[in-house]
Amino acid sequence: MSPRGAATREPMQKPRRFIASARTNLPVWSDLSWDAAPASVDAAGRGFVLVGVGAGTAPVIEAWRQGVGAWPCIAWVETGDLADAAVSTRFGAALESMVVGWRLMLAGPPAEIMVLAAQARRTGLLDEEIRLHVLEDGRVRVQCAHCKTLFRATAEPGDIVTCPGCGQNILVHQHFSRHLGAFVGFSADVEGEP
Amino acid sequence: MTRGRQTAELRITHAEEVAPGVRSLILRPVAGGALPSFAPGSHIALSCGGQVNAYSLTNDGHDPDHYAISVRRQDDGRGGSVWLHNAPVGTVVDGAAPRCDFGPVRTARRHLLISAGIGLTPFLSYLRLVPRWGHAMQMLHVAPYGAVIPHLAELQDLAGPGNFQLARGRQAFAAALERALHSQPMGTHLYICGPAGFMDDVLAKAQAAGWPQARCHIERFGAAQSVSGQAFTAVLARSGRVVEVAAETSLLDALEEAGVSWPALCRNGVCGECRMDGVSGEITHHDFVLDDAERASGTCLMPCVSRARGGLSLICRESAMQPGPAYREASAQGTMRCQAALPGQVPPAPAPDAGRLPAAERQVPGLQPGLHASRFPWPFSADHYAYSANVEPAPGCVRTAAGAWGATILDVDGEYERELAERSAILQRDLSRYASLEHMREAGWDALLWGLRELAASNPTMRLERRGEAYEWTNPRLKTTQVFRYGDDSTLPMPPLMYLASQVQEDVVLLDQREGQLWVDAGCVTFASNWSMAFDAGMSFMEIHGPIPHDYADGAIPRAQQFLMRLQPGQVFRRLNWTSTAGYRLDTALDSYDQWGATRTAMARDPALAAFHMRVEVQHLIRLPRSGAIMFLIRTYLLPLADILGVPQWRAQFAAVLQTLPPDLAQYKGLGTIRQPLLRVLAGAERA
């Protein structure tokens, strides 16, 4: 995903407790959004797995498939319940069928494809073997620092959401783990304005 | 030999021609005893008849009593290999401590090893990982028809059935290589060792098969020692003195050996302390400090790593600059250990009873005035604040206005039993403070053995004894004895890294090095300062530091990573970091912020800020020898405000630092709203 995933970002304007940071590890999607052209197919690849999440990604996957040409290719679009364990199982089986020389390309909302990219890295893929095309939908994954529940929410860093695990109001922090595919959130209530 | 590197005199105790033109040597320390452990793929630099040559170590690197190498005779070489072929058994050679620039990638699901000629030697040590840690390895070696292959039976035996393939001749090799490159499961890494042309050829074929650069690793001995280079001459312009800098010596070391003192801290081209201005000559820069314009000026360099071609003229204030006391004490030990620097000058540990107060009673600062101050690592030496990597060699005793600290790496003090009980209780209710990704199991064992040895070396009552494959650990302070077998998790009551954290007051983090960066892949951290081990596990070094304010992080964090990636086994460095905490509270992890966060608001409401504690982390950085992982030890000390007020020099320095601290850093350190009240308290104490 690098270099895009690790690029720098303008200081956050909105969050009340955050400090400007030139190197926040927020994923940067500005050049990979709806209206941008999808990432190109890596000409060095000798085989491809292409996965779209959401029906809206079908055109992207089809364009990629054309770009792959004659190399071996496994491609599909997930349209059902994304929380379904079957998504991860299907994806895992495709990863196991890859040999070195292949590339992975993912298209879809960030909360979903960051999770799949993390699963791919755990299987042994390197950043330079993964290309992403993000279709922003305003949803993120958050891990509650206190009860460790991982959940999806419509939010961005600086917003306050309710943790479905412990019920606390959780501030979404500008700290993102690519390993978990999630932002960290912590209690928004214990340290009111003095 | 030079001070910057560990060396040992080694005696050739056995020599054998294992193939025509290939001589295997066994080297044992002249002084007896054990040799430093090493990771697979490590090499040793040997002085052989006026040459320094690097050879791969081929034996098992776990607590070795000897080093084994295999040397191919090169009649057209510089003479080192011929010298080693002619050296009789009993010859003594100088050997530098092993270095590893070609270690296996620990996250690899499989390792593909490709070699030609004598290039098989590093893979002998690689293949020893198979039985010990269960790595999947496949080796392909090419040799001419009829050639005798050194170590063939051993390679076949270590690799296991079907995992060692010998290709005779170019055609057979080309076909076997093609098959291997196109059939490796995703996650395989490729390692190539042999003649330069051979390595380039295999690399090109791998890239044609779609292998990214980051999966391909080659051993180039020429680039192994970046700090050394060609010999050159330095001329001290004012006195006209001439100092010869040998190929294997840094300019800094050469000057010191010639009796010229020069300030230096990290000796790795990171801290900038040894900067030399007013030089002239053709300089080759190897540091991480100077910017492009400074390099282009050709008038300054960092003598710890940078060199010159031919001659270099220095304007060296030969006696004007003397290193400060902290440096002198640390560097007197070089990179070797000194367990008790300045005996008698370190204040005795506080009485055991004083440290055993329950945490709740300690919310009131000043309960035991002076108790914390005497061993407190006071973080300021000047009257202003500067964010920097501020690394220095460790250990080394530093005297402060109220006592001293830093004589040992692991600090066992009067709080030992209480803090370990607190850590155990935290892990009981929140096991997520311990995290270890699957590939860090070996690093966890490496950390445990290093830590227990260090504890035993610096605490007379603690003992670690080796009994064959087993170790017996005895710790009277905790009334515990534990027998374990290295690498066998079932012989410990908990994972090895967690066991280490049950014996030391330090929090422990392990970093894996791969893809040109560091990864925070394991840790047992119960006393974190507002971060979460559970959440940060698996992040890169740059990612984990994301929330640090910009201008400060921009330079320091990437430099710190470069420094850490060059750390060699046997080197230990340390740095200090400071922030603030409300109450005497070690556990300020992000995980439990919902429990302790409110104490900050309560503290700020009190005009006297009676609950304020300065929080200082002493961080040690250690390259573990067997796994190649970096161990990051974090020891947390808390000092009540009352104790700061009790030391006039500290009170004045803290006030001066607070006045010059940039606003975003003040907020990062939890001082955003209390800086002004704090300054009033400090000023009030001054007037009183």
- B282-335 pLDDT, tens per residue? 898 887 777 777 888 888 898 988 888 878 887 654 433 333 222 222 222 222
CA-nearest residue of chain B to A20? B549
> What are the residue ranges in chain B where pLDDT is below 50?
1-5, 222-226, 317-369
Pairwise CB contact (< 8 Å): A128 & B207 = no
Distance (Å, whole) CA B411 – CA B401: 20
Shortest CA distance to B309 belongs to which of B317, B321, B301, B319? B301
- Has residue B485 been placed in a domain? yes
Assess A192–B contact: CB distance below 8 Å, yes or no.
yes
* Inside any domain, residue B332: no
- B42 with B189, same domain: the answer is no
Query: Quick one: three-class SS letters along B324-357?
Result: CHHHHHHHCCCCCCCCCCCCCCCCCCCCHHHHHC
Point out the domain boundary residue: B166, B200, B223.
Answer: B223
Looking at residue B321, what is its pLDDT? 32
Of B652, B642, B656, B616, residue with least CA distance to B398: B616
Cβ separation B593–A190 shorter than 8 A? yes
Model pLDDT, residue B312: 84
**Does residue B319 belong to any structural domain of this protein?**
no
Same domain, yes or no: B88 and B199: no
**Model pLDDT, residue B551:** 52
For residue B230, what pLDDT is reported?
A: 78
- Identify whether B103 is part of a domain: no
* Chain A residue at shortest CA distance from B216: A100
The residues in A 2-41 lying below 8 A from B, measured between CB atoms, are 6, 11, 19-26
Q: What pLDDT score was predicted for residue B554?
A: 59
Give the per-residue pLDDT at B81: 92
Q: Which of residues 44-63 of A touch B (CB under 8 A)?
A: 44-47
- CATH code (residue B60): 2.40.30.10
Q: Supply the pTM of this predicted model.
A: 0.85
In chain A, which residues have their Cβ closer than 8 Å to the Cβ of B548?
A: 21, 23
DSSP 8-state symbol, A39 = P
Phi, psi of B410 (to 5 degrees): -95, 125
How confident is the model at residue B309, as a pLDDT? 84
Residue B330 lies in a domain: no
Q: Which of A179, A183, A187 to mutate to test the interface with B (most CBs of B within 10 A)?
A: A179
Q: What is the mean pLDDT of residues A170-190?
A: 91
Q: State which residue of chain B sits closest to A121, comparing Cα positions.
A: B187
Same domain? B609 vs B658: yes
**Chain A residues touching residue B215 (CB < 8 angstroms):** 100, 126
Domain count, chain B: 4
* SS3 label, residue B151: coil
Residues B215 and B261 occupy one common structural domain: no
B575 tagged catalytic: yes
Where are the domains positioned within chain A? 45-137, 139-187
B209: chain A residues, CB-CB within 8 Å: 46, 100-101
Residue B162 lies in a domain: yes
Test B590 with A20 for CB contact under 8 angstroms: no
Identify the domain boundary among B205, B223, B241: B223
Of B184, B186, B209, the CB nearest to A125: B186
Lowest mean pLDDT among A17-31, A50-64, A81-95, B243-257: A17-31
Cα A22 to Cα A156: distance, rounded to the nearest angstrom: 18
Closest-approach residue (CA) in chain A for B107 = A124
Contacts of B593 in chain A (CB under 8 A): 145-146, 186-187, 190
Would residue B102 count as lying in a domain? no
Q: Is the pLDDT of residue A55 over 50?
A: yes
B628: phi then psi, degrees, rounded to nearest 5: 75, 0
CATH 3.40.50.80 fits domain A45-137: yes
Residues in CB range of B103: below 8 A, 6 or more apart: B39, B40, B41, B42, B628
Domain match, B247 and B183 both: no
Looking at the structure, tell me whether residues B199 and B237 fall in a common domain.
no
Q: Report the residue of chain A nearest B590, measured CA to CA.
A: A145
Q: Residues in chain B, how many?
A: 688
CB contact under 8 A, A128 and B554: no
In contact, B46 and B133? CB cutoff 8 Å: no
Quote the domain boundaries for residue B169: 110-223
Of the three residues B45, B62, B96, the one that is the final residue of a domain is B96
Phi/psi for B554 (5° steps) reads: -55, -50
CATH code, domain carrying B151: 3.40.50.80
Q: Which of A10, A19, A42, A187 is most worth mutating to test chain B (most B CB atoms within 10 A of its CB)?
A: A19
The whole-angstrom distance between A179's CA and the closest CA on chain B is 6
Average pLDDT, chain A: 83
Q: How confident is the model at residue A159 (pLDDT cuts 50, 70, 90)?
A: very high
Residues B313, B324: Cα–Cα separation, whole Å: 26
Q: Does residue B118 share a domain with residue B62?
A: no
Q: With beta carbons less than 8 A apart as the criterion, state whether B420 and B635 touch.
A: no
> Catalytic: which of B575, B585, B623, B651?
B575
B497 and B624 share one domain: yes
Are the C-beta atoms of B471 and B465 separated by less than 8 Å?
yes
